[in-house]
């Protein structure tokens, strides 16, 4: 529901008021000029959150945008989200203006649990929009005897962000040809490492075209579709997926 008529949004929020919660911004951390991590606090009691689920914000009368919590604690009433301020769109403009102490309504998490618990090896591929998801997956992986590696396509200004979030991932610059450097990364992995990770699960998130190209590269290298999890978060020229 990225865009709907204002009257419909108003009705939806009052009819399904139990699907929204009031939250207050308690902390904003600038990870780079394009990345903000924001902590929201509110009554999140009895809300169940699973890695990969997204919340929704009404960013103006007609538009909603999805974002993925990087951390969720229902009991403490805390939720963190990493936002990409990509410079083009009402969602990122709305987020860029938020200040500590602001109050807003947040649509509760929906979507699938993406974490494939049975797998020992987890491979992440994405961009700035997927940092939050990968942080929440990493937290789960670290509590179990599991392992992750991965590669992110990032703008030059955000190359340090994964490290700041405690994510041990490789980073490559975005290129005109989607996933170009990320596929090179794959090909340069040590053989022993690839032997392990090719038995694992691959999470391809973020830009729809990068996902498509990287997925094809994985399939050409013998990875079965059933071990590839994909979720596009945005695509060039299309508003609010």
Ligand X SMILES: Cc1cc2nc3c(=O)[nH]c(=O)nc-3n(C[C@H](O)[C@H](O)[C@H](O)COP(=O)(O)OP(=O)(O)OC[C@H]3O[C@@H](n4cnc5c(N)ncnc54)[C@H](O)[C@@H]3O)c2cc1C
Site for ligand X, rule CB under 6 A: 54, 65-68, 81-84, 86, 88-92, 129, 132, 233-241
Q: In what order do the strands lie in the sheet with 170-173?
A: 170-173, 147-154, 121-126, 201-207, 228-234
Residue 224 CB, nearest approach to ligand X (Å): 24
Residue 74 CB, nearest approach to ligand X (Å): 18
CA distance 196 to 154: 26
Residue 240 CB, nearest approach to ligand X (Å): 4
**Spatial CA neighbour of 88 closest among 205, 210, 238, 233:** 238
Residue 94 CB, nearest approach to ligand X (Å): 7
Helix (H, G, I), strand (E, B) or coil at 80: strand
- Between 141 and 205, CB nearer to ligand X: 205
- Between 21 and 84, CB nearer to ligand X: 84
- Between 175 and 241, CB nearer to ligand X: 241
CA distance 135 to 125: 13
Strand-pair partners of 66 = 56
Residue 1 CA: distances (Å) to CA of 130, 206, 227: 20, 18, 29
- Between 36 and 122, CB nearer to ligand X: 36
- Between 116 and 147, CB nearer to ligand X: 116
Q: CA quadruple 21, 25, 26, 28: dihedral positive or negative? A: positive
Residue 238 CB, nearest approach to ligand X (Å): 5
**Is 38 in contact with 127 (CB distance < 8 Å)?**
no
Residue 106 CB, nearest approach to ligand X (Å): 13
- Between 101 and 237, CB nearer to ligand X: 237
- Between 219 and 238, CB nearer to ligand X: 238
**Is 206 in contact with 84 (CB distance < 8 Å)?**
no
**Is 167 in contact with 138 (CB distance < 8 Å)?**
yes
Residue 195 CB, nearest approach to ligand X (Å): 32
Angle, helices 180-187 vs 208-220, to 10°: value is 30
């Amino acid at each position: 529901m990225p865009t709907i008529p204002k009257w419909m949004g108003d009705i939806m929020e009052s009819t399904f008021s139990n699907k929204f919660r009031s939250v207050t911004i308690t902390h904003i951390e600038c990870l780079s000029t394009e990345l903000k991590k924001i902590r929201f606090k509110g009554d999140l009691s009895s809300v169940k959150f699973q890695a990969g689920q997204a919340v929704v914000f009404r960013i103006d009368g007609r538009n909603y945008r999805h974002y993925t919590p990087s951390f969720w604690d229902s009991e403490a009433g805390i939720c963190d989200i990493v936002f990409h301020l990509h410079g083009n769109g009402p969602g990122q403009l709305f987020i860029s203006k938020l200040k500590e102490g602001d109050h807003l309504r947040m649509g509760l998490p929906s979507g699938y649990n993406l974490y494939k618990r049975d797998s020992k090896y987890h491979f992440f591929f994405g961009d700035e929009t997927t940092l939050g998801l990968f942080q929440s997956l990493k937290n789960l992986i670290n509590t179990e005897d599991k392992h992750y590696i991965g590669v992110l396509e990032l703008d030059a200004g955000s190359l340090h962000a994964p490290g700041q979030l405690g994510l041990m991932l490789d980073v490559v610059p975005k290129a005109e040809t989607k996933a170009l450097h990320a596929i090179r990364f794959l090909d340069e992995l040590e053989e022993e490492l690839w032997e392990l990770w090719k038995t694992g699960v691959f999470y391809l998130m973020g830009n729809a075209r990068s996902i498509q190209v990287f997925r094809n590269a994985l399939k050409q290298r013998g990875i079965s579709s059933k071990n590839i999890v994909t979720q596009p978060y945005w695509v060039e020229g299309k508003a609010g997926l």
